[in-house]
Amino acid sequence: MAVSKRVSSDRVAVDGRSLTIEKVVRVARSRACVELPSSTHEMMLRSRKALEKLVEDGRVIYAVNTGVGELVDVKIPKDELKSLQVNLLRSHACGVGERYPTEVVRAMMLLRANALAKGYSGVRPEVVRMIVDMLNAGVHPAIPRQGSVGASGDLVMLAHLGLAMIGEGEADAGKGFEPGAKALRRKKLEPISLEAKEAISIINGTQAMAAVGALTAKDAAVLADNAQIAAAMSLEALKGTSSAFDMKVSKVRPHKGQLRVSRNMLALLQGSEIMVSHHDCPKIQDAYTLRCIPQVMGASLDAIWYAEDVLDVEINSATDNPLFFPDEGMVISGGNFHGQPVALAMDFLGLGVHELGSFSERRTARLVDEKLSGLPAFLTRHGGVASGLMVPQYVAASMVSENKVLVHPASADSIPTSANQEDHNSMGTIAAWKARQIAENVRRVVAIEMITAAQGLDFIHLSSSPAVEKVRRVLRKAVPTLEEDRPLADEIEKVARMISDGVFVQAAEGACGFERT
């Protein structure tokens, strides 16, 4: 998704408790302005004072005055605590591979600020203010995508964020990637000097996986809506029946997603002449990819909603270690940095979205097969000299096959780190990126189904429903009827972008009672 270069007048508060996926998307993609409430400032000050008192009392606290990981038993002298902060960032900033897109970096920054703003990490308010100022000024650290095992937090990615905060590493302030200090100066920001505990608080958390996860969950919901619309178009083009969507069927198996999809399919098909023509049809049942739309797509909706529920909790959680509880005067070393909840949710999300694509491709294959569709072979009047829509189905099959590899759960395996001190890792950041890749593939698979179904409807002399007709008219502005063979690559990408932008969902909503995911 493209990110606007203008800071929006929209405002999102970083208070540690009220972030939503929609707000994350607004900051990441529309550059909504980020605010740090005064109440949050007070919470962080209390936590910081609690930390400082414990240190003054001689307490040995992990990562405050000790080494990290297997080096936990190494006591750090007071006069070296500042050096520890810089060394932690430098040593952990060893990510490799392509950089994360700007939208992911912005989401990551927002989520890290929100976690620290809860007031359990013991950092000064200045640390969170620095992240907020960088977000609002458009200073985006260079963060490589590979290197997290998703358990001691997304250490590697967040260390690259921290480097830019202290004027090291690289960042993009609107003129391309350059040294961090130069990028900060370009926006009149000064590097921050970190005090005890602040480096580990920056790097210890699940914000890379949660950032990718939040954006992907949003995209998955939009994709699920479009997949239902594409299914309705295909059902019409294949002269299927809506009888299996009767609410009486779903009410006796009342999964939330199945109920939603049944309602949507009935709404999308209301007023269709093609559906009316089935009243005396001798055909008893449609194929599963038509008849079981509520059951299969509904299960994918349930997977998306599960991932959203997990992320709603995660993006408002304290995922640092150790955590400070000023009211009780306690510091507790725990494991909130472990990404297992997000890892499992992202693997499940990827599988649910993959099924939308697998389901879609089978309808596309049915549409171009004259023996199954009753339509001209490959939806062209000039079969032989013309290939029509033969090969777009190949492309869809290729992407579905690729997704079958990507759906292998990242969370199913663990490689220990830090000399077996960290002996189980979630791989949640890998799971989140895989889910994003799957969604990108499925978006194009669904775009191909829409193009193919629209072409199939051109051969039918009965009217489809008002909702389907409206969607088809919108699509036809971007993709004319295929009268003669032409390259379709750009048109597939154009429809995929329209899916992302919600163009078809808006058209369907305007014509019927369609409910968004």
Spatial separation of the C-alpha atoms in residues 131 and 80, rounded to whole Å: 25
Distance between CA atoms of residues 404 and 258, nearest Å: 24
The DSSP symbol for 322 reads: S
The torsion region of residue 281 among left (phi > 0), alpha (psi -120 to 50) and beta comes to beta
DSSP 74: -
HEC profile of 231-289: HHHHHHHCCCCCHHHCHHHHHCCCCHHHHHHHHHHHHHHCCCHHHHCCCCCCCCCCCHH
Using CA atoms, how far residue 321 sits from 24, 109, 195, 312, in Å, is: 24, 18, 16, 21
| Whether residue 306 lies in the annotated active site | no
Report which of 184, 155, 190 is spatially closest to residue 169, judged by C-alpha positions. Answer: 184
CA angle at 294 for the pair 292 and 296, rounded to the nearest 5°: 65
Which residues on adjacent β-strands are paired with residue 146?
A: 96
CA distance 202 to 224: 35
Separation CA 410–CA 427 (nearest Å):
6
Per-residue burial over 186-199, b = 16 or more CB atoms within 10 Å of its CB, e = otherwise: beebebbebbbbbb
Token pair 């990404």: residue? 339
Q: What are phi and psi of 14, to 5 degrees?
A: -100, 100
Residue 515: φ, ψ to 5°:
-105, 125
Give the whole-angstrom CA distance, residue 375 versus residue 366: 10
Q: Would you name the residues annotated as active-site residues?
A: 62
